[in-house]
A and B are shown apart, each in its own frame.
Chain A
Amino acid sequence: MTVTVSTGSSSSSLARGLRVTGMAVAAVLVYLIVLWRCLLLAGELTAGNSLAGALFSALTRYDEVGNAFLAQALQQTVNALSIGSIYALIALGYTMVYGIIELINFAHGDIFMIGAFLSVVFTGGIFGQHEGVHNIPFLAFLLLGALLFAMPLVGLINVTIERLVYRPLRHAPRLAPLITAIGVSFILQNIVLIIAGSGDRTAAQVFPLDWQIPFGGASISVLSIFIFALSLGLMLALQNFIRRSRMGRAMRATAQDQSAASLMGVDLNQTIALTFLLGGMLAGAAGVAWGLRFGFVKFDLGFNSGLKAFTAAVLGGIGNISGAVLGGFIIGFIENFASALGYSRWSEFLVFMVLTFVLVFKPSGILGQLTGDRA
């Protein structure tokens, strides 16, 4: 994940790949050890030990009890990765659209919400599945079917919105498309509200929740691994598409300079529509993953998740694809550890504080270059 939409360097030698891989593995190992010892420290402190004693055992304890925290660290990490990959998938849609037409697509969160609803329609409505399916081929069919059902539909809805609403406003003053996007967001929410009602609708968690890999004292959910793997696959596919294909090149060119790209024969309308299609499809996949993981869908789901995913995109550097993924995972970790430590109702607040700090101290995000013109 080193290619960005805006720069798109294609030099990838074997040595550089190995170096990056080595650094990533080392970072993961360091992270796991630190997290393991932090959890151990927290456990000792809640058990009522003195600060000095807890610190001492956090540094030196390697017996049965101490090692059990490694399992917990691993379990929480996998959970965080699965939440983070959902946010990353949504954030990709925000960042791609922003990268190409500099519009904050406020309706993107609601596109994700529609994806979640469509996956429920597929598994619960069409196939009548309301609990875990242990028959692996049937489960594979259901999951693949839900993805193939939700992703193109949601992508098409996104393209249609772009065609009807955003395209006529492409050269209007900035405020107009932003206000329109807010309007579209409300239209989508309220259409779903009218069709589906205002309460939580249960989503069939067709992926069995009892599939857990016991590990030490903890257990690692196969579903979380599945969601992470699915998202990683989609992200790699997207990256390959943008880096290798002709249309991907057109997208990168358009993001850099619209008029120059169109003079080189790039069809701007088609390229922008493609961006919306890809963003919508990824949001659809995120919706399917949401239904599997959280077991409920609601009409205003897209508002909060969209805000978090947007924060992820800004955190990583808006307009930057790898940044969106990185930001998504960071937000996933913040949210997961906030709820693991019993502060789940403050998670929105934490995410907002992250947004504030990023905008104040590094508005270009972690990986992006400064896109906003500072006054």
Chain B
Amino acid sequence: MSAVASARPGRPLPSRAQIRDYVGRHRSTSILAGMAIIAILMSVLPKLPPLSAIQNEQPWFDAFANAGIYVLLAMGLNVVIGLAGLLDLGYAAFFAIGAYAYAYSNSNFSGLDLPFLPMLVVGAAVAAVFGIALGAPTLRLRGDYLAIMTLGFGEIVPIVFLNLDTWTQGTNGISGIYRPEPLPLLGEFTAVTPYAYMILMAFIVAVAMCLLYRLQESRVGRAWNAVREDELAAAANGINTVTTKLLAFALGATTAGLAGVFSASKLTIVSPDQFYFQVSFTVLAMVILGGMGNIWGVAVGAFVVYLIQVIFLKQLNSFKEALNLPAINLGPIHFDVNAINFTDYQFLLFGFALVLMMLFRPEGLFPSQRRRRELHIADELAGPLEEDPGLLGAMGETPGMEELSGEDAGPSSPGDDR
């Protein structure tokens, strides 16, 4: 990842420029090398302090493997939101479809025991079919409708899995899903030694990342850019906008399906409550924080957000318990730090993160250059109005317009300062 990170333009050092040049020309090799380094770091670091002080190495491997699921989800959603500019709010539905597809193929419930690796492809394909079925009618309409359709779809899929209890065992879900059969080099997939899951996940993420970078720079990727920036202009230049958007949407669904298969094989149980709207929302927050449109930025964002969610907030809780601060009692004001469970606040934090990012840094923490320019177009538009309010005033009595231009320029200025 470090090699990819230095691929950002604007570094004067020649050695860096050489690296950048190399990474630009051999991106897939660089990604595979970077992910190999990360995989080695993830294998070694949990044995050393400070990580070893928090928990043992096996729980760390487990957390890394789970974080990988979210990295995969975020990279898939990034294709939909970041590359094609469509808002998909029901992303967890495709995750669910992938997971249930694996559950049917590998459990006592169905009596089947199909091999794991082909099922990764099959689960992804099933999710893609649902993505196309949902996207085809909606993508002809404006993006807002897609947002609400996907929101509805994300809400319906768990309800259907819940209600069709003869087929899905309702609330209990399908349990006792078989783990993947042992693979050469990786060994056994078990709950107590999740190392194999972690390495397999790192490999899947590396392959997905290579493919996504190649897609982004292909004809299709450029079509996504064009559709996102100006759909009308893209259509006028001969791009079939519906097919292009549908491809992005289906690709997002495919990635989610892949993550679903992996997740089901790791948890060995699927139930509707794993796929509620909170999952879609978490992945959305990861994409926004990481930086829409920037593949490695989104991956890093997802990884960090997941670890914050499962490790940092829990650590904060135990840290608070260790401090054992006294409760504050000032008449009507009663404040007890010990009663606060920080993990309850994660969605509140995500909510604030989304709003604040959109207001002040819509391009995310690791922005892609193109996306940054696009998202700050409002500042450029507000600029001329601000410069010459007298012009509008001279055109007649327009108190509203003067106030409008003043208001618009105000809140967007923090973005300019950066």
| Chain A residues with a Cβ under 8 A of chain B | 102, 104, 106, 165, 167-180, 182-187, 189-191, 193-194, 262-263, 265-270, 303-304, 307, 310-311, 314, 345-346, 348-349, 352, 355-356, 359-360, 363, 372-375
Q: Is the CB of A374 within 8 A of B141?
A: yes
CA distance A155 to B74 in the complex (A): 36
CB <8 Å contact, A175 and B85: yes
> B142 contacts A187, CB within 8 Å?
no
Across the two chains, which residue of chain B brings its CB closest to A308?
Answer: B152
- In this assembly, does B104 line the interface, its C-beta being within 8 Å of a C-beta of chain A? no
Instruction: Give complex CA distance A284, B403 in Å.
Output: 30
Cα A168 to Cα B381 with chains together (Å): 13
By a CB distance below 8 angstroms, the chain A residues around B355 are: 165, 180, 183-184, 187
Among residues of B, the one whose C-beta sits closest to the C-beta of A186 is B351
Some 15 contacts from A to B, beta carbons below 8 A apart, are A171-B381, A171-B382, A179-B354, A179-B358, A180-B354, A183-B352, A183-B354, A183-B355, A190-B347, A194-B344, A262-B401, A266-B400, A314-B145, A372-B141, A374-B140
Residues of chain B within 8 A (CB-CB) of A266 are 400
Please provide the chain B residues from 392 to 413 with a CB less than 8 Å away from any CB of chain A in the complex.
395-401, 403-404, 407-408, 410-412
Task: Find the B residue at minimum CB distance from A270.
Answer: B400
Q: Is B69 an interface residue (CB 8 A)?
A: no
- Going nearest first, the 8 A-B pairs with the smallest beta carbon separation are A183-B354, A168-B411, A186-B351, A187-B351, A190-B348, A267-B400, A372-B142, A183-B355
| A363 & B141 in contact (Cβ 8 Å cutoff) | yes
Is B3 at the interface (CB under 8 A from chain A)?
no
| Interface window among B37-45, B47-55, B372-380 | B372-380
B181 sits at the interface (CB 8 A): no
**CA gap between A348 and B148 in the complex, in Å:** 14
Query: Contact size class for B?
Result: 35 or more
Q: How far is the CA of A54 from the CA of B87 in the complex (A)?
A: 50
Q: Flag if A169 contacts B351 (CB, 8 Å).
A: no
Query: Is B327 among interface residues, defined by CB-CB distance under 8 A?
Result: no
Known contacts: A183-B353, A348-B155, A372-B144. The answer to whether A269 contacts B403 by CB under 8 A is yes
Main secondary structure of the interface of A (DSSP, over half): helix
Q: How far is the CA of A311 from the CA of B377 in the complex (A)?
A: 32
Cβ–Cβ contact A178 & B147, under 8 A: yes
User: Is the beta-carbon distance between B148 and A355 smaller than 8 angstroms?
Assistant: yes
- The residue in chain A whose Cβ has the minimal distance to the Cβ of B399 is A267
Chain B residues touching A, majority SS: helix
- Complex contact B358–A269 (CB within 8 A): no
Docked-complex contact A269 and B411, CB < 8 angstroms: no
Give the nearest-CB partner of B340 in chain A: A194
Q: For A194, what are the chain B residues with a Cβ–Cβ distance below 8 Å? A: 344-345, 348
Interface contact B348-A191, CB-CB below 8 Å: yes
Are A168 and B359 neighbours in the complex by a CB distance under 8 Å? Answer: yes
- Give the docked Cα–Cα distance between A265 and B145 (Å): 33
A186 CA / B87 CA spacing, docked (Å): 16
Beta-carbon contact of A173 and B81 below 8 Å? no
User: Which stretch in B12-20, B95-103, B156-164, B263-271 binds the other chain?
Assistant: B156-164
| B163 interface neighbour in A175, A177, A184, A345, Cβ under 8 Å | A345
Residues of A within 8 A of B144 (CB): 102, 104, 174, 178, 372
CB distance from A192 to the nearest CB of B (A): 10
Asked whether A355 and B152 contact (CB < 8 A) given A168-B411, A268-B404, the answer is: yes
Across the interface, which residues of B come within 8 angstroms of A184, CB to CB? 351, 355
Cα–Cα, bound, A128→B225 (Å): 59
